[in-house]
Amino acid sequence: MPSIAPCSCIYGILVLFLVTGSFAGDPYVFFDWTVSYLIASPLGVKQQVIGINGQFPGPTLNVTTNWNVVVNVKNDLDEPLLITWNGVQHRKNSWQDGVLGTNCPIPAGWNWTYQFQVKDQIGSFFYFPSLNFQRSAGGYGGIIINNRDIIPLPFAVPDADVVLFISDWYTKSHKKLRKDVEDGKDLGVPDGILINGFGPYRYDEALVQGGISYQIINIEPGNTYRFRVHNVGISTSLNFRIQNHNLLLVETEGSYTVQQNYTNMDIHVGQSYSFLVTMDQTASSDYYIVASPRYVNSSKASGVAILHYANSQGPASGPLPDPPNEYDMYFSMSQARSIRWNISAGAARPNPQGSFKYGQITVTDVYVIVNRPAELIDGKWCTTLNGISYLTPSTPLKLAQQYNIPGVYKLDFPNTQMNRHPKVDTSLINGTFKGFMEIIFQNNDTTVQSYHLDGYAFFVVGMDFGVWTENSRGTYNKWDGVARSTTQVFPGAWTAILVSLDNAGIWNLRAENLDSWYLGQEVYLSIMNPEIDKSEVPLPDNTIYCGALSSLQKDQARRYSFSCAPSPAGLSRTFLVVLIITLYGPFFFHVTAS
């Protein structure tokens, strides 16, 4: 395992208990997380960041296919919080998705326990706070879903994993940034690019100020590492590369890819990749690990970490390895098209990925979804999909559905851009359970956008510049298009995806670019199973109620509060812990005893 400096806490995984026998079937893992502000100066300027258990980035959830994950999240911020698990499918269980369509926010000072199974998945994902622009201040961390032992990896087992979070970064607080976005201000060029929460190595004294801490990855010569790289940023596409080292692409967001060498990879907001990197260099010096912004005219903003061989003969020096041509989107698109599915590899199940022959399935619903740049609607800055800017109702959609509350949402999201004035509305896509949906994203903005669907992986079957037409289907990859959960859509271009709607629930489809998302670029898919006997996971016992259902919220929740209130609160908390131990026996005993 490589040691990582200066912060050794990246592997600080808080696994409280691993119970393997006491629950029927799959193991449970328990985590206790406190989300709070920390002070850090990643770019040499002191600022508030969001950490988990005092760590920024947060701890890695390192689990195995089918494990049950229980995460008790305490909100020690001064505003509501939800954590969402980007790419984790939560089969039949959108209750755990951690977005406002499915969950009431966890109020400041409260806690809420997520419980979900990482069913039938492998791969590299990340979690992040989904509300109020909080991701721009951190709060993110990695999710690794390892394969079960009975299913071999489609490559030699790497010597260790290295998790890297790359992101654009601003020294403004998330509150200031979201205010700017509300006011229609452009975020502008980022102040820097972070790698694992650290600023750049001082590769150029004129461009990088002194005294900034940077990430060092310590490695052994000859070893092969699996680098799991996530773009957790706000809105900047990043080019990732390691000086003098090949990146052998093997996985993206839960699918094994055809293994190919790249010298660099464009990673768009919200995307995750695994690369195998063999330490095959002479170690005449250290090497640069670079994440540089794409399509942004700012060379000073590159993120630079250091790859340090145990036998290194000196520091890295000289210029950074070259990026691809700064404004060449054709390069980026053809690189994206070169990423394909390894149809013969088994993943979460032993049968090959390609045994799901998506190219032979008949499409049941088609949506051409057009995004537009921010515009004023009734005096407020909004972004739209098919002319609709999503309005978050005070009662989550999923709860409104469960309690048959009328009028919270409509199932009338249009199949195409309508020739009408843009509006703000709570309009959902009515998906057909077990249907096969084709979605074409048409980017009418001037910047790269990425779109993410919760609850599913979709097949990326085509992308091209210009306006999509029915004839564009002739170019689709019907054979080995990769299945993933986040795809980029280039400006003035389209991307087509296919998705098999087999996961009942209400699922968020959103722009991963925070500014686009914050101003309304999201929609939900309602996928209802008409058969009761195959229904979804029931409403969780610990559901938080809000909006039209506020009156159902029991007072107890306040007493679970983890604020620093003096003794009366402490007393009632002790009482509750005793009560909970009595009620839930060994399950919670493990949690509270630790």
Ligand X SMILES: *[C@@H]1O[C@H](CO)[C@@H](O)[C@H](O)[C@H]1NC(C)=O
Which residues in this chain contact ligand X in the complex, by CB under 6 A? 1, 11, 60, 62, 72, 111-113, 144, 154, 160-161, 163, 246, 248, 258-261, 297, 342, 344-345, 411, 430, 432, 444, 446, 491-492, 542, 557, 560, 580, 588
Q: Which is nearer to ligand X, 181 or 329 (CB)?
A: 329
**Long-range Cβ pairs for the range 526-535 (8 Å, 24+):** 526/397, 526/401, 526/411, 526/428, 526/429, 526/430, 526/431, 527/431, 527/432, 527/433, 527/455, 527/501, 527/503, 528/433, 528/504, 529/433, 529/504, 530/433, 534/504, 535/92, 535/504
Q: Which is nearer to ligand X, 112 or 133 (CB)?
A: 112
- Nearest distance in Å: CB 122, ligand X: 13
Q: Which is nearer to ligand X, 173 or 259 (CB)?
A: 259
Pair of tokens at residue 159? 């010597």
- Nearest distance in Å: CB 237, ligand X: 16
- Nearest distance in Å: CB 212, ligand X: 22
Which one, of 69, 131, 74, lies nearest residue 98 by Cα?
Answer: 131
- Nearest distance in Å: CB 569, ligand X: 13
Q: Which is nearer to ligand X, 48 or 365 (CB)?
A: 365
Q: Which is nearer to ligand X, 313 or 574 (CB)?
A: 574
Q: Which is nearer to ligand X, 445 or 454 (CB)?
A: 445
Q: Exposed e or buried b for every residue in 314-336, given b needs 16+ CB within 10 A?
A: eebeeebbebbeeeebeebbeeb
- Nearest distance in Å: CB 158, ligand X: 10
Q: What is the dihedral of CA 222, 228, 234, 236, to 10 degrees?
A: 50
Q: Which is nearer to ligand X, 176 or 563 (CB)?
A: 563
Pair of tokens at residue 306? 């250091």
Report the alpha-carbon distance of residue 231 to residue 221 in Å, rounded. 27
- Nearest distance in Å: CB 324, ligand X: 14
- Given a contact cutoff of 8 angstroms between Cβ atoms, the answer to whether 446 and 473 are in contact is no
Q: Which is nearer to ligand X, 432 or 563 (CB)?
A: 432
Q: Which is nearer to ligand X, 296 or 497 (CB)?
A: 296
Place of tokens 């098999």: 500
Q: Which is nearer to ligand X, 5 or 258 (CB)?
A: 258
Report the alpha-carbon distance of residue 300 to residue 512 in Å, rounded. 25
Report the alpha-carbon distance of residue 170 to residue 562 in Å, rounded. 30
**196 by DSSP, 3-state: which?**
coil
- Nearest distance in Å: CB 47, ligand X: 25
Q: Which is nearer to ligand X, 178 or 251 (CB)?
A: 251
One-letter amino acid identity for 153?
L
Q: Which is nearer to ligand X, 102 or 342 (CB)?
A: 342
- Nearest distance in Å: CB 39, ligand X: 26
- Nearest distance in Å: CB 218, ligand X: 14
Which one, of 292, 324, 282, 307, lies nearest residue 227 by Cα?
Answer: 307
Angle at 133 between CA 15 and CA 175, to 5 degrees: 115
Report the alpha-carbon distance of residue 53 to residue 444 in Å, rounded. 41
**Residue 265: beta bridge partners?**
240
- Nearest distance in Å: CB 156, ligand X: 10
Which one, of 229, 267, 222, 268, lies nearest residue 245 by Cα?
Answer: 222
Q: Which is nearer to ligand X, 74 or 174 (CB)?
A: 74
Q: Which is nearer to ligand X, 47 or 386 (CB)?
A: 386
Going along 94-246, which residue ranges are E strands?
111-117, 123-129, 141-146, 160-169, 192-195, 216-219, 224-231, 238-242
Q: Which is nearer to ligand X, 207 or 411 (CB)?
A: 411
Report the alpha-carbon distance of residue 536 to residue 521 in Å, rounded. 27
How would you classify the pairing of strands 449-453 and 380-385? unpaired
- Residue 384: count other Cβ atoms within 10 Å of its Cβ: 25
- Nearest distance in Å: CB 161, ligand X: 4
- Nearest distance in Å: CB 111, ligand X: 4
List the 61-64 sheet strands across, edge first.
61-64, 141-146, 123-129, 83-86
- Nearest distance in Å: CB 64, ligand X: 7
- Given a contact cutoff of 8 angstroms between Cβ atoms, the answer to whether 274 and 482 are in contact is no
- Nearest distance in Å: CB 41, ligand X: 26
List the 303-309 sheet strands across, edge first.
4-5, 216-219, 303-309, 287-293, 238-242, 265-267
One-letter amino acid identity for 10?
I
For residue 572, give the DSSP letter.
H
- Nearest distance in Å: CB 141, ligand X: 11
- Residue 61: count other Cβ atoms within 10 Å of its Cβ: 25
